[in-house]
Amino acid sequence: MVLSTVAFAARPFEPPAELPTSAPPQGLTAYEVLSSDARPTEGGEAVLADHGTAPLADRAAFSVSRSADRAPLGCSGIVTETGPNGRLPDSALCDLWQAPFRDRPDAVVALFELNDAFRAAFGSDMCLSSAYRDFEEQLALDARKGGLAAPAGASNHGWGLAIDLCESAYTGERGRWLHDVGPIFGWENPDWAHAGGAGPFEPWHWEFADAVAALETRGAS
């Protein structure tokens, strides 16, 4: 669905008070995460019980361990500017930890917090392969993919609300962990991208879910 331009003023992201920890990777097979529809429960206590994890850790432990240069510098997390899909101004985007990728401020702050937890669990950052894509980039991708990619002007990458992950981040134990923990921070692999979903199977595609839903609601009204 092609969304009309909207002015969306988001609140600063308010991360959860606690974070689950995770056991080291167990070497699960690729796409194994998609065999389960598990989602976190309120409060997060049961999120990783199936993975044999330790009790929930105090969030301060992660905040103290994160060095200043890993924070989204200059990114308030507040959306103050917007634009047409794929035409967002530079001032409406914040840098992610992996150049040259950028996304919308609220999505970036939430994703940094998720990446902090991911790094605490697995010892490395989530590997990104795409984030915000401008109109021309989406147009070229759609042409290469033979229509499997969203048309230019209709992708959530064009709103700065989506990322694509490297295979090392979305498969096996890391993928299972992300499916469980990502929604706590607002990031999800949408239902349409699951095996048997309404769209193409894209386990690498993740979206800042509440902001995407808000845009879709406004676009449909």
pLDDT digits (tens, 9 = 90+) for 159-218: 999 999 999 999 999 999 999 999 999 999 999 999 999 999 999 999 999 999 999 888
* Residue type for position 20: P
On the 0-12 / 13-18 / 19+ scale of CB atoms within 10 A, 176 is buried
Q: What is the Cα–Cα distance from 107 to 111, expressed in whole angstroms?
A: 6
Among residues 6, 3, 7, 13, the alpha carbon closest in space to that of 156 is found at 3
% of the chain surpassing 90 pLDDT: 61
Tokens at 43, concatenated: 């409060």
Q: What is the Cα–Cα distance from 79 to 94, expressed in whole angstroms?
A: 10
pLDDT in tens, 75-119: 999 999 999 999 999 999 999 999 999 999 999 999 999 999 999
pLDDT in tens, 23-72: 333 333 323 323 333 333 333 333 333 332 322 233 323 333 333 345 57
CATH of domain 38-220: 3.30.1380.10
Query: Domain coordinates of the chain in residue numbers?
Result: 38-220
Tokens at 39, concatenated: 């989602």
Tokens at 23, concatenated: 């056991």
